[in-house]
Structures are given as structure tokens and as C-alpha cells.
Amino acid sequence: MSRPLHRTFFARDVHAVARELIGATFLFKGVGGRIVEVEAYHHTDPAAHSFRGRTPRNAVMFGPPGVAYVYRSYGIHWCVNFVCEEEGSASAVLIRAIEPTEGLRAMRRRRGLNDARLLCSGPGRLCQALAITGSHNGLALDKPPFALFARCKDVDVAIGPRIGITKATELPWRYGQKGSTFLSKPLGV
């Protein structure tokens, strides 16, 4: 297995972190896979939850980096972010899709599906497959139940507009593994 990602990995520019997360391995209680799609959010970005200041929901975004920010989306789904940069910068990377490699059986059971492509191709789907919920909000990413490992070899990273937002849609802050069939939506070549 490759190098574990330490807390300091996240204490850097959110875009650098987002780019380097593509191809990294993300596990929750031993279940997960290779990250193929993420989006960057920064407190200066109108689309970010932290843009309008601290609330009970987004409080961990304002804390130290290297922890998980988990929030409820549209009342039903959970979405997971990695908090980045220095404490107070309130920036984070939204994990949008992974290529399942570990714990396929558990993921299929939780999702009620067989098709590996549909298990984790979207932020809500990903959290359902890995069983990540609001109770894991604020947990450190370099300690169980989380585990993160740097990618072994370089991958081609494609960049494009973010998805599912209505503000600042022009910012090309979505990063994905070029050519992956596990993306939530295709990225431009």
C-alpha cells in the first residue's frame, strides 16, 4: 500500500490538495476506493457553505485542516468534504466520486445495486455506499475509521466546471481523473 496522507497534506492550497487527491485511496472502515472526482470550495467563493460565515452546520470548515466536514444535502443525502488550508480559511474539497476497490459487497448491500459504476459516482451515493453520516462530522482523516493513501503513480487530471450549484458556476474548480468511467458526470477532454 502507498504512503498514508498526514494531516499536513491538507494544510495547503485547496486546489493543490484537490488535484493531488485524484487517484488517492479513500477508505472508511476498510470500505472505499480510488478518488476520481472532487470539487474545491473556498470561503471567498459564493458557492461555498462558508461564504456567508460560520453556522452550526459548517463550523468544522472554520477549524483546523485534515478533518471531515459532513453535511446533509437536500434533506436526505450526506456529502463529505476534506477541510484544507490553515485554520479559519474555511476551505474544503468535496469528494464527488470514487472508483470502488475495497468492500464491494458492503457497498452493493447498502446501495441495493450491482453496477459498480453506480455505487459511488456522486457525493450522496458515495456516502451511502461507505456509510458516512453526520455523526462522523469533524473526525480526523488520518485516523480510523478514516484512512487515506497517496496515489502510487501520476494520473491525468482533467479540470472543468462544478456541478449542481447555481452560484459561481464559471469557476473551473472540479477535478477528475481523465477518462474514468466512474465520474458522476463526464469532464471535458
Binding mask 120-159 for DNA (x = CB under 7 A): --xxxxx---------------------------------
Tell me: does residue 73 bind DNA (CB under 7 A).
yes
Rounded CA gap, 82 and 71, in Å?
12
E strand or H helix at 87:
none
Q: Is 8 in the site for DNA (CB under 7 A)?
A: no
CB atoms within 10 A of CB 118: 15
User: What is the signed CA dihedral for 57, 58, 60, 64, rounded to 10 degrees?
Assistant: -170
Calpha distance 13→4 (Å, rounded): 19
Nearest approach in angstroms of CB 43 to DNA is 9
- Select from 108, 110, 111, 178 the one that contacts DNA (CB under 7 A): 111
Binding mask 30-69 for DNA (x = CB under 7 A): ---------x-x-----xxxx-xx-xxxx--x-------x
Q: How many residues are given for the chain?
A: 189
Tell whether residue 106 is a contact of DNA (CB under 7 A). no
The kind and range of the H/E element at 18 are helix 14-21
Least distance (Å) from DNA to the CB of residue 81? Answer: 5
**Amino acid identity at 86:** E
Q: How far is the CB of 140 from DNA (least distance, A)?
A: 18
Residue 2 CB, nearest distance to DNA (Å)?
26
In 3D space, the residue among 184, 186, 185, 158 whose CA is nearest the CA of residue 173 turns out to be 158
Q: Which residues bind DNA (CB under 7 A)?
A: 39, 41, 47-50, 52-53, 55-58, 61, 69, 71-77, 79, 81, 92, 94, 111, 113, 118, 122-126, 162-167, 184
